[in-house]
Structure 1
Amino acid sequence: MNFLEHVAKARVLAPAGIPVPKAIHCVTAEDAAVAVAELGPCMVKAQVPTGKRGKAGGIRAAMTPDEAREVADAILGMTIDGHRVESVLLEERAAIAREFYAAILTDTESRTPLLLFSTEGGMDIEEVAATRPEALRRHRVDLDHGFGEAEARALLDGLDLGPARERIEAILPALYRAGGSVDAELIEINPLALLEDGRVVALDCKLTLDDAAAFRNSDLARDASPEPMTALEREGTAQGLKFIQLDGNVGVLANGAGLTMTTMDVIGHCGGRPANFLEIGGEAYTKSEAALKLVLANPGVKSLVVNFCGAFARTDVMAEGVVTAWKRLNPEVPVFFSIHGTGEDEAVRLVREGLGVEPYDLMEDAVQAAVEAAR
């Protein structure tokens, strides 16, 4: 789940004691004019769950109500990185002395929280990490001990932070606690700014939560930013299917998310491009007809690979669903099967007799044939 800046600041940073600027969330240009009258000179910031808003023209200054109205009217309705701007954040202008970077994320290698800090805030952190890795400090958190001010002091040791040091030493542990309190996969503050008046504030925030933990953060989850979806993806959601539309030409049906992603990787390895992510494991096999309709409704699909691997799930039951759906829909695209696991012999017989198609012994051969057929 991704969250807009105004939600991240108001619902996560501020309650954790991390200073944020005064701001008002607005959904109309008239709201923006009223906000500037209350806050004074402001930055008008597009609220979309993506970066590089400034480069896209989504962050602009406004000194007066009339200017705020004009600027907000220009930003609202913009599309930035596939996201339509539906609201703006009016935030008090800040006189910045220095910019830092701070983040807490999940380190997949160590399977622990990872705290990052850099004195080069306000920049693309990936570029900083690639060109000047020494400028990015890293601390893998020992879950038995956590991350407190002692760990913050060690992380910041040797850095010239000037008057901001004491405040940053307090903010970093607060950031760690905030991440843990909401099961965050990422909280990124860029920039964390030292202002000319001596304050250290979070001028921006990116927040991503673990979808699987939504039930523990139900109030916050309701404020998550909806992901932009295609018409087919919306239909998949309505059908209760996990469907993601891609720009390839090889359709994919597989049971289980891991097997589906593996199939997509093999398609790429064989020189093809997957047209979708769609797994029909578990009870989803009962929705074979809806799943096939989704895949085949993509006009780019030129072939289909069906990859079943059963352990607890029976491949013959899944194959029966696909064969029945195929007969009803009678599509013209070529289909290539790979079937292994529980019920394999019966599943192969169903496909062979029902569709006149011979499943492949190896998944790689089925995928290669689908890729070649799509060319």
Structure 2
Amino acid sequence: MNFEEHVGKTLLLGRAGIATPQGVVCTTPEQAADAARGIGRVVVKAQVPAGQRGKAGGIAIAETPQQAEIVAREILGKTIGGYAVERVLVEAQAEIDREFYAAVVTDVASRSPLVLFASDGGIEIEELAAEKPAALRRAAVDVTRGFTAADAAELLRGLGLGAAEAAVADALARLYQLYRDHDAELLEINPLALLRDGRVVALDCKFVLDDAAALRQPALVAAAAPPRLTALERRGTEHGLKFIQLDGNVGILANGAGLTMTTMDVIAYFGGRPANFLEIGGDAYTKAEVALDLVLANPGVKSLVVNFCGAFARTEVMAAGVIRSWEALRPSVPAFFSIHGTGAEEAVKLVRERLGIEPYDLMEDAVLAAIEAAR
């Protein structure tokens, strides 16, 4: 779940004591001019949950209220990263001495939160990591003990931050606590700036909430940016299905998120390209037709993997739902089944007799056949 910059600054950073510039969210050019009259020299920034806003023309400096109105009119209505700009943040310009990069991310490799810091900020962190990997410092965090200002000071040692080191360390410790308290997947400040007056101020904020924690964070969910959905993804949402459309050519119909992701990984491992994520769960027999139609409506799909693994959910019930849907929709793409677990013997018999398709004993073989057919 993604958020616009002003939400991260207002609901997270500001409340945690991390300084941010004075700013006003505006929806019209006239409001931007009024905000600039109250602030002075400003930066007008498109509010969309997307990166590289500056390169897309979504950030502009304004020295006067009249300039703020002009640039706001140019920015509002733009499309950046697939999002229409409906709001701008009119924010006080900062007298910057140095720019840093600071973030806390969920790191799969270390299976822990990872605190990141670079003394070169304000640039794309991927570029920095590729060109100067040693410049990006990392600290994997033991969640049982947390991450303190002392830990942050150790991370910053030798970077020559001078008098700003204590303030930067304090900001990193607060950033980590925000990450934990608000169930973040990513909390990033780029740049975290040292101003000429000695203050350390967050000039940007990127916040991504773990979707699974939405029930714990109702105030944040209410302020989240609307998801950017394709027409098929919107249809899936309307039917209570978590469907993500991808650009591959091998469609996937599987029960449960874990099995679906495993199937995607196996397709990619063998050189194929998955066309979707679709979490259908054990009630496949009630949603099979909608789910199958969603997968096949993706114009890139050239073959289909149906992968069922039953525990409490019975595979013959799931297979029956897919078979009825197949007979109703009569798709032309080849399908390759892999069925295991509770009711598998009955399910395999159903697929064989009703569809004339022989399920594979191994998921890998079904995937390999689907990849070959998609070519």
TM class by shorter chain equals: over 0.9
What are the equivalent positions in structure 2 for 1:198-237 lying under 5 Å apart?
198-237=198-237
Q: Distance in 2 between matches of 1:295 and 1:30?
A: 46
CA displacement at 1:227 relative to structure 2: 1.9
The reply on whether 1:102 has 2:97 as its aligned counterpart is: no
Letter in 2 for 1:302: K
Q: Which residue of 1 aligns with 2:51?
A: 51
User: SS of the counterpart of 1:2?
Assistant: coil
1:38-77 matches, within 5 Å, as 38-77=38-77
SS at match of 2:217: helix
CA distance in structure 1 between the partners assigned to 2:341 and 2:8 by the alignment: 45
The 2-side partners of 1:134 and 1:209 are apart by 28
Q: Which amino acid aligns with 1:356?
A: G
Q: Is the 8 A contact 2:282 2:318 kept in 1?
A: no
**Aligned equivalents of 2:116 and 2:41: distance in 1?**
32
Q: Aligned-pair distance for 1:138? A: 2.1
Pairwise CA distance, 1:84: 2.2
| Contact in 2 for aligned 1:241/1:284 (Cα 8 Å) | no
| Aligned counterpart, 2:370 | 370
Cα offsets for 1:348-375 (capped at 9, x unmatched): 1111111121112222222222223333
Tell me how far apart the structure 2 counterparts of residues 174 and 281 of structure 1 sit (CA, whole Å): 39
Tell me which moved more, 39-48 or 69-78.
Answer: 69-78
1:294 matched residue in structure 2: 294
Would you say the 8 A contact 1:339–1:359 is kept in 2? yes
Letter in 2 for 1:49: P
Q: 1: CA distance between counterparts of 2:142 and 2:241?
A: 38
Which amino acid letter does the alignment assign opposite residue 63 of structure 1? E
Equivalent positions of 1:127-276 (< 5 A) are: 127-276=127-276
User: 2:5 is aligned with what amino acid?
Assistant: E
In 2, Cα distance between the equivalents of 1:374 and 1:143? 44
Contact 1:101 1:117 in 2 (8 A): yes
Q: Give the whole-Å Cα distance in 1 for the aligned partners of 2:249 and 2:149.
A: 53
Relative distance call for 1:132 and 1:307 in structure 2 (3 A) is same
Amino acid aligned to 1:258: G
Superposition deviation, residue 284 in structure 1:
4.1
TM-aligned CA distance change 1:133 to 1:275, over 3 Å: closer
Q: What residue number does 1:82 align with?
A: 82
* CA distance, structure 1, for counterparts of residue 137 and residue 160 of structure 2: 13
More deviation, 5-14/47-56: 47-56
Cα displacement string for residues 304-323 of structure 1 (whole angstroms, at most 9, x for unaligned residues): 22111222221111100000
In structure 2, the CA distance between the partners of 1:314 and 1:96, relative to structure 1 (3 Å rule), is same
State the percentage of identical aligned residues.
65
Question: 2: CA distance between counterparts of 1:247 and 1:213?
Answer: 28
Aligned residue in 1 for 2:282: 282
Match of 1:93 in 2: 93
Cα-to-partner distance string for 1:251-277 (whole Å, 9 max, x where unaligned)? 210112222122223333444322211
CA-to-partner distance for each residue in 1:140-174, whole Å, 9 max, x for gaps? 23334322222222222222113322321322222
Q: Distance in 2 between matches of 1:362 and 1:148?
A: 49
Given that 2:284 and 2:318 are in contact with CA atoms closer than 8 Å, whether structure 1 keeps it comes out as no
Residues 24 and 91 in structure 1, CA contact (< 8 A), matched pair in contact too: yes
Mapped contact 1:192–1:200 kept (Cα < 8 A): yes
- 2:332 matched to 1:325? no
Q: Distance in 2 between matches of 1:218 and 1:5?
A: 18
- Stretch moving more, 187-196 or 171-180: 171-180
Q: Separation in 1 of the partners of 2:214 and 2:116?
A: 25
**Distance (whole Å) between structure 2 residues aligned to residue 143 and residue 336 of structure 1:** 43
Across the two proteins, how many residue pairs are aligned to each other?
Answer: 375
Work out the CA distance in 2 between the residues paired with 1:289 and 1:233.
15
1:242, CA displacement in angstroms?
Answer: 1.1
AA matched with 1:72 = A
Judged with a 3 Å threshold, the aligned counterparts in structure 2 of structure 1 residues 298 and 109 are, in CA distance, closer, same or farther, namely closer
- 3-state SS of paired residue (2:283): helix
AA aligned opposite 2:183? D
- Contact in 2 for aligned 1:2/1:49 (Cα 8 Å): yes
CA deviations 1:93-134 (Å, max 9, x no partner) are: 111111111112223333332222221111222232333233
Q: Which moved more, 1:52-61 or 1:16-25?
A: 52-61
Q: State whether structure 2 residue 24 is matched by structure 1 residue 24.
A: yes
Number of the residue aligned with 1:10: 10
One-letter code of the match for 2:299? Answer: P
Give the AA of the match of 1:289.
Answer: E
RMSD across aligned positions (CA):
1.7
2 CA distance for matches of 1:151 and 1:82? 39
Moved more, 251-260 or 276-285: 276-285
